[in-house]
Amino acid sequence: MKTPEVLDKEARDVLSSLPEVLTAKDRASIPHQEMPQQRPEERIHNMSEVALGYTESEALVEANRCLQCRNKPCVSGCPVGIDIPRFIKSITEKDYSGALDVIQESSLLPAICGRVCPQESQCQKYCTVGKMHKDIDQAVAIGRLERFVADHEKDSAKLPEIAPQTGKKVAVVGSGPASMACAADVRRMGHSVTVFEALHKMGGVLSYGIPEFRLPKQLVEKELSKLEAMGIEFQRNVLIGRTRTIKELMEEDGYDAVFIGTGAGLPKFMNIPGENLISVFSANEYLTRSNLMKAYDTENSLTPYFHSHRVAVFGGGNVAMDAARTALRLGAETVDIVYRRTRDEMPARKEEIEHAIEEGCNLRTLSQPVEILGDENGIVRGVVIRRCELGAPDASGRRSPVEIPGSDHTVEYDTVIVAIGNASNPLIKKTTPEIETNKRGNFIVDEETNETSLKGVFAGGDIVLGAATVILAMGQGRKAAAAINAYLKEQA
């Protein structure tokens, strides 16, 4: 692994060798810039961000790789429609504030999206440069450039213009990415917006779900402060569905429209023997204790956590990687990621899998947990694992795991973290039966407007899609905001 200093020097050398006028062939030959990062042996002992971000030289080199395609294929892969070539062109001109302005036409959360969005399966998937190299890893690093712009201009971001007050009131339930995007776009049109959050901190999954080493929480707070500066009101510790119902918001509190972005916060379990043992955790609880309540900061936080030695994490997605890497930082000696398919089928981002392995996590693939064993005190002592092989592809396109009879074996662990996905929050449906849901509990909405079956109530993000990405949730929030704005205009 090259040090940040070496990477920056290499970038400066490339920059100095570039001709004044670049042809498409010149741009295609510019080397892709690695992301500087903390060394694995250092970062497993701290919660600081692993990826350190591009220097100016690295960002300029990477930006100059962009071909400025006229048909802008990358934009079609962006759920919020950022004009990617235009913001990258501003970087090549060293107009970083202009680049940020372009991004903020579509997204107020570039520092967040630049860090956690899976660009490789969205905007970068369609990048012409990556296709020229026949390697998606060689696509222009759009997300890293977005992060660079946001970080470089963090103190000079301009707030969007707010239209004159309309007298209309909109309630936004939840404060995750879908809600933040919706609240911003509704507020821009001059409507009053109040965001209701059940927890004591705003940000939803950005605050409780994603570890500090991937997304520093002060960044989340800074992005949220933009919304407050726009005049959006935040109400914390308000559990909609209990403290107030949706109908009470509209009929008693006078809200003209409601957006529900409560996410998919109900953890799924495997329903195998032993899941009720003391040291079995859902990834939600485990990460919330660390991320939101800072259990790792033992000098300043009173939140307890289980002191693990040998940890098994069930699952292969980003949440599983987050939980496994957090366990290492909380002092675990061994962390195994137990997954029933192979590494190739893991839904986690390639970068997150690589970081987990670099840090010392073990991939125990083609392995299906069938029972969790406990000791006389009710604490995990091991997991019975059945070996698998891959069969035919399932509905997701991935090859299905087929259990091998007679292959059961026991592996010693003292902690299990279940990270196999989440279901939609059921609370609002229970108190607002008029809202239709599918068999998975996801809200059924109009595909064009994201309006639910209850007039004036819209929804978006994981409560509609199931577990999805930050940027997809934001796209849903923006779509719903456009429909809310049109709905309120009709009501005027």
Predicted model pTM: 0.93
pLDDT at 397: 82
pLDDT tens digits for range 448-459: 999 999 999 999
Output DSSP code: residue 123.
G
User: How far apart are alpha carbons 322 and 64 in whole angstroms?
Assistant: 33
Average pLDDT of span 215-229: 92
CA-to-CA separations, 296 to 290, 307, 448, in angstroms, rounded: 6, 11, 44
Let me know whether 413 and 434 are in one domain. no
pLDDT at 83: 97
User: How far apart are alpha carbons 37 and 124 in whole angstroms?
Assistant: 21
pLDDT at 427: 86
| Pairwise pLDDT comparison (302 vs 50), residue with the higher score | 50
Let me know whether 145 and 257 are in one domain. no
pLDDT tens digits for range 30-83: 999 999 999 999 999 999 999 999 999 999 999 999 999 999 999 999 999 999
pLDDT at 74: 97
Is 162 among the domain residues? no
Residue 492 has pLDDT above 80, yes or no: no
Is 383 among the domain residues? yes
Q: From the CB of residue 229, how many other CB atoms can be counted at a distance below 10 Å? A: 10
Domain that holds residue 349: 267-422
Average pLDDT of span 298-305: 86
User: Which of 214-218, 291-295, 316-320 comes out lowest in average pLDDT?
Assistant: 291-295
| Pairwise pLDDT comparison (395 vs 191), residue with the higher score | 191
pLDDT at 314: 98
Let me know whether 42 and 122 are in one domain. yes
| Tokens 């970087």 found at | 91
Q: Output the six-digit token pair for 284.
A: 């939600």
Average pLDDT of span 375-392: 96
Average pLDDT of span 223-243: 94
pLDDT tens digits for range 428-449: 888 899 999 998 889 999 999 9
Q: Output the six-digit token pair for 124.
A: 């970068």
Let me know whether 432 and 411 are in one domain. no
User: How far apart are alpha carbons 112 and 469 in whole angstroms?
Assistant: 12
Q: What is the mean pLDDT of the chain?
A: 94
Residue 94 has pLDDT above 80, yes or no: yes
58: CATH: 1.10.1060.10
Is 134 among the domain residues? yes
| Tokens 């919706």 found at | 182
Let me know whether 410 and 432 are in one domain. no
Percent over 70 (pLDDT), the chain: 100
Provide the sign of the torsion angle of the four alpha carbons 174, 176, 178, 180, taken in this order: positive
pLDDT at 347: 92
Is 157 among the domain residues? no
User: How far apart are alpha carbons 222 and 228 in whole angstroms?
Assistant: 10
Burial class (CB in 10 A: 0-12, 13-18, 19+), 131: middle
Is 161 among the domain residues? no
Let me know whether 124 and 179 are in one domain. no
Residue 329 has pLDDT above 90, yes or no: yes
Whether residue 144 contacts residue 117, with contact meaning beta carbons closer than 8 Å, is answered with: no
Closest CA to 460 of 314, 260, 300, 267: 260
pLDDT at 305: 86
Q: What angle do CA 200, 201, 207 make, to 5 degrees?
A: 135
Among residues 152, 187, 210, which one ends one of the domains? 152
Pairing of strands 457-459, 257-260: parallel
DSSP string, 427-472: HHHHH-TTS-B-TTSPBP--TTT-B-SSTTEEE-THHHHSS--HHH
Average pLDDT of span 459-468: 89
Average pLDDT of span 103-120: 92
Residue 426 has pLDDT above 90, yes or no: no
Q: How many domains does the chain have?
A: 3
User: How far apart are alpha carbons 73 and 69 in whole angstroms?
Assistant: 7
pLDDT at 469: 84
Let me know whether 249 and 129 are in one domain. no
Whether residue 315 contacts residue 419, with contact meaning beta carbons closer than 8 Å, is answered with: yes
User: How far apart are alpha carbons 345 and 413 in whole angstroms?
Assistant: 25
pLDDT tens digits for range 407-417: 999 999 999 99
Average pLDDT of span 309-313: 98
pLDDT tens digits for range 338-352: 999 999 999 999 999
Residue 223 has pLDDT above 90, yes or no: no
Let me know whether 409 and 466 are in one domain. no
pLDDT tens digits for range 145-165: 999 999 999 887 788 899 999
Let me know whether 372 and 274 are in one domain. yes
Per-residue confidence at 398, pLDDT binned at 50, 70, 90?
confident
pLDDT at 299: 86
Long-range contact set of residues 32-36: C-beta below 8 Å, sequence gap at least 24: 32/62, 32/65, 32/137, 32/138, 32/141, 33/7, 33/58, 33/59, 33/61, 33/62, 33/141, 33/144, 34/2, 34/7, 35/141, 35/144, 36/3, 36/4, 36/7, 36/8
205: CATH: 3.50.50.60
pLDDT at 467: 77
Helix (H, G, I), strand (E, B) or coil at 332: coil
DSSP string, 39-63: -HHHHTT--S-SB----HHHHHHHH
Let me know whether 235 and 286 are in one domain. no
pLDDT at 316: 97
CA-to-CA separations, 388 to 352, 402, 468, in angstroms, rounded: 24, 5, 27
